[in-house]
């Protein structure tokens, strides 16, 4: 299946939730140029939930899942995006973690609290990664054994795994777009530079890259 599932969890308190919601709301529209890169298949976003009940996010946006996790079938070229939140450690979202454990070749992008679920389930023990803080990760994830591979960076991409701190939605989005390969490299770098540094030169570079 050539789609990129967007994992939804029943959370309310992730600091970067509203920024990520805005990113994904725009992902199929204005955030990507009309022709961001030649000869690409524009990604299709499928919203996945524990069930099909509508979810109201911390930012007040109501999102209705299109399929439930029991009907999720992952292919190796899919990208499973796990948003942050404070429910990842209570077991309610274990089914999606089990799906990743069964198919470790699928692309996974996790931010904030979602990284803790990966850590607790041993999915970060042998991969370079980051999270909100190493000390906190060790404190809340008793099964975590990946300390030697922890990196103090906003976001870390390691093969088919992307992890990010909850206060790094821009870097997270950059790595996701890079993995999806939907923009030319100069377009992506200019887009990132514009939002990171707010300098006019990146705006003009972005416009030039789309000529």
pTM greater than 0.85 (yes/no): no
66 shares its domain with 92 = yes
CA–CA distance, 50 with 27 (Å, rounded to integer): 23
Q: Contact, 184 vs 209, CB < 8 A?
A: yes
Q: Specify the CATH number for the domain of residue 88.
A: 3.40.50.880
Query: Which residues lie below 8 Å from residue 180, measured CB to CB, with a gap of 6+?
Result: 4, 43, 79
pLDDT tens, position by position, 60-90? 889 999 999 999 998 888 999 999 988 899 9
CA 126 – CA 124 distance, rounded (Å): 6
- Residue of higher predicted confidence among 84 and 27: 84
Tell me what pLDDT residue 7 has: 45
pLDDT for res 3: 40
Catalytic residues: 112
Range(s) of the domain holding residue 209: 184-211
As for how many domains the chain has, the answer is 2
pLDDT at 85: 87
Regarding whether 197 and 142 lie in a shared domain, the answer is: no
Are residues 204 and 119 part of one domain?
no
- Same domain? For 146 and 200 the reply is no
Residues 168 and 202 in one domain: no
Q: What is the mean pLDDT of the chain?
A: 86
Residues 110 and 195 in one domain: no
Query: Residue 114's closest CA among 25, 20, 7?
Result: 7
Tokens standing for residue 68: 């439930």
* Shared domain check, 94 and 18: yes
pLDDT of residue 36: 60
Same domain, residue pair 163 and 194 = no
């Amino acid at each position: 299946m050539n789609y990129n599932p967007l994992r939804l969890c029943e959370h309310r308190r992730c600091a970067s939730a509203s920024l990520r919601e805005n990113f994904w709301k725009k992902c199929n529209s204005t955030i990507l140029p009309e022709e961001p890169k030649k000869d690409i298949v524009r990604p299709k976003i499928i919203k996945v939930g524990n069930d099909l009940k509508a979810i109201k996010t911390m930012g007040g946006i109501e999102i209705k899942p299109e399929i439930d996790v029991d009907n999720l079938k992952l292919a190796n070229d899919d990208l499973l995006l796990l948003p942050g939140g404070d429910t990842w450690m209570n077991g309610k979202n274990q089914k999606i973690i089990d799906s990743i454990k069964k198919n470790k070749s699928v692309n996974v992008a996790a931010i904030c609290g979602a990284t803790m679920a990966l850590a607790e389930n041993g999915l970060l023990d042998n991969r370079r990664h980051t999270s909100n803080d190493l000390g906190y990760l060790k404190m809340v994830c008793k099964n975590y054994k990946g300390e030697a591979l922890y990196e103090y960076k906003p976001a870390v991409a390691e093969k088919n795994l992307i992890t990010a701190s909850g206060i790094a939605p821009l870097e997270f989005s950059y790595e996701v777009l890079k993995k999806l390969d939907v923009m030319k490299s100069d377009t992506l770098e200019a887009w990132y530079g514009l939002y990171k540094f707010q300098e006019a030169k990146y705006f003009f570079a972005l416009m030039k890259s789309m000529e």
